[in-house]
Amino acid sequence: MELTFHTLNNGIRLVHSHTASDVAHCGIIINTGSRDELPEEHGTAHFIEHMLFKGTTHRKSYHILSRLEDVGGELNAYTTKEETAIHASFLREHYPRATELLADLLFSSTFPSTEIEKEKDVVIEEINSYLDNPAEYIFDEFEELVFPDQPIGRNILGSPETVRSITADSIRKFIKRNYSTSQMVFCSVGAISPKNIIALFEKNFSRIEACNGVSRLRADYMYKPVSTEKKMDTFQNHCIIGNIAYDLHNSRRMGLFMLNNILGGQGMNSRLNLSLREKRGYAYNVESMYNPYTDTGLVTIYFGTDNRNLGKSISLTHTELDRLRRQPLGTMQLTRAKNQIKGYLAREYENHENLMLSLGKSLLIFDHIDPVQEIFRKIDAVTTSELAETAGIVFDKTSLSTLIYRQNGERT
């Protein structure tokens, strides 16, 4: 995979991968998310993502939505705890249209007061929708338990109270403080030459003045394991078990990704899926996830089950964690685990939209992009002893936290 890089005088960077596909993808990723909010700004980063579609100095909301949809393209955005992204998918001949639109949204949005008031109701309904889904909401509440009174622990959407307090002025203050041009990456995957993508990048983004917001500081996390239950009017019990974990820059990150995949990753042959679902039918959905951040990380195991099987499911989960701690992988198991991770990675790269976002995030976070073969080399370098040591630390039973939404009585 040959990559094109370019940096403007204002600090905005470009990474592009050429493909032969008729469909192209591009986006811009900003190193700002919900963890960069002050307490009174809770929900602002996500709200800005919504408002970028509500009007610029050149376009009203309808014209923004129609600009790519009129030619069969798609415009989208997302906010995480550490980044904000706007991205587009379109036929390759519409590169000029897409790149100009992204620049317009990010740097010329006007944040009309009437649109802000309407969008508050939309976001509050989004919050209510989330609260109605305990299988999703439990993850947010678990992070709040693990990282109490820390920005990284607050949910991304905000609360109805903080969302209602957002104004055009508070939006502009947040952007001025946090949106640095040196912390923005324009990423692209499509059938366009390096010369032409650089020309479009220069044309649409070089006019932006350099701006430097406040740099994100590493936080100190005083983690204490906690276990709690809540009664919920649900048809299932929902349970999360987890621990803090390695950050994005830790050398043991690759090994933990591998352990997470063995335990409860996307494969149907993960240990938890085989134990809880396939062998016993205790759960429909069981999974584990590893989310690394700039200065910390989180491993979570989630499942939903009924009252009869909650205790047994928790016990089986701890049995599988104990296996990882006490029984090192054999040679064949280690090889199979490595090959599975490689296959998943290769498939992800075949999805060009995912590839585009992955390239942008890698350049933004690490300031370089490893070729696939280098990533494979790092996977192959993981040893059985490293995995055993990592499992012993991260899955230590005395370090695990638990949150249970317990079904409030029998449901019919």
> Cα separation of 327 and 93, whole Å?
55
Residues 181 and 315 in one domain: no
Picking from 144, 171, 205, the residue at the C-terminal end of a domain is 205
Note whether residue 412 is domain-resident.
no
17 and 132 co-located in one domain: yes
CATH, residue 291: 3.30.830.10
Region 250-261: mean pLDDT is: 95
Question: Six-digit token pair at 365?
Answer: 């976070």
* 122 and 256 part of one domain: no
201 and 231, same domain (yes or no): no
Same domain, 151 and 12: yes
Residues 306-318: tens digit of each pLDDT:
999 999 999 999 9
Decide: helix, strand or coil at residue 407. strand
Percent of the chain with pLDDT over 90: 92
* pLDDT (mean) for 17-36: 97
Considering the domain architecture, whether residues 231 and 299 belong to the same structural domain is answered as yes
Q: Tell me, what's the pLDDT at 409? A: 66
First to last CA, the chain: 55
215 found inside a domain: no
Band (297; pLDDT cuts 50, 70, 90): very high
- Asked whether residue 103 carries a pLDDT value surpassing 80, the answer given is yes
Q: What is the pLDDT of residue 214?
A: 79
Sheet holding 227-232, edge to edge: 227-232, 401-407, 237-244, 297-305, 286-292
Q: Strands 286-292, 297-305: parallel, antiparallel or unpaired by DSSP? A: antiparallel
Q: Which two tokens stand for residue 138?
A: 């439990």
CA contacts within 13 A on the Cβ side of 108:
18
Q: What is the Cα–Cα distance from 101 to 106, expressed in whole angstroms?
A: 9
- In 3D space, the residue among 138, 173, 164 whose CA is nearest the CA of residue 301 turns out to be 138
Q: DSSP letter at 409?
A: S
Instruction: Give the model's pLDDT for residue 333.
Output: 94
Residue 335 and residue 295: Cα distance in Å, rounded? Answer: 30
Say how far apart CA 161 and CA 172 lie, in whole Å. Answer: 19
Structural domain including 401 reads 227-407
Token duo for residue 211:
């701006």
CB 313 within 8 A of CB 276: yes
Name the phi and psi angles at 105, rounded to 5: -65, -45
CA distances from 305 to 29, 234, 238, 268, 406 (A): 38, 11, 7, 18, 10
Q: What is the pLDDT of residue 220?
A: 85
Q: What's the whole-number mean pLDDT along residues 69-89?
A: 97
Q: Is the pLDDT of residue 217 over 90?
A: no
Q: Convert 29-78 into a string of H (helix), E (strand) and C (coil).
A: EECCCHHHCCHHHCCHHHHHHHHCCCEECCCEHHHHHHHHHCCCCEEEEE
pLDDT at 410: 57
What's the chain's average pLDDT? 95
Asked if residue 243 belongs to a domain, the reply is yes
Cβ–Cβ < 8 Å for 187, 15: yes
Inform me whether the pLDDT recorded for 411 exceeds 60: no
Residues 117 and 262 in one domain: no
Q: Residue 220 falls within a domain, yes or no?
A: no
pLDDT at 412 exceeding the cut of 80: no
Residue 212's pLDDT is 87
Question: Quick check: 130 and 123 in contact, CB under 8 A?
Answer: no
Number of folded domains that form the chain: 2
Q: Which helix (H) or strand (E) holds 304?
A: strand 297-305
Query: Looking at the structure, do residues 313 and 177 belong to the same domain, yes or no?
Result: no
H helix count then E strand count, the chain: 15, 11
Is position 93 within any domain?
A: yes
Is residue 10 a part of any domain in this protein? Answer: yes
- 60 close to 114: Cβ distance less than 8 angstroms: no
Residues 343 and 331: their CA atoms lie apart, in Å, by 18
Exposure letters 115-131 (e unless 16+ CB within 10 A, then b): bbeebbeebbeebeeee
Residue-wise pLDDT tens digits, 133-172 = 999 999 999 999 999 999 999 999 999 999 999 999 999 9
Q: Model's pTM, two decimal places?
A: 0.93
| Section 200-210 average pLDDT | 96
Please check whether residues 68 and 117 belong to one and the same domain: yes
Share of the chain above pLDDT 70, in %: 99
* Phi, psi for 180 (deg, rounded to 5): -100, 135
> Are residues 129 and 262 located together in one domain of the fold?
no
Distance from the Cα of residue 340 to its chain's centroid: 22
Q: Within a domain: residue 216?
A: no
Cite the DSSP H helix spans in 227-328.
Answer: 253-264, 271-272, 307-326
Helical segments of 273-383, H only: 307-326, 331-350, 352-366, 372-380
Asked if the structure places residue 212 within a domain, the reply is: no
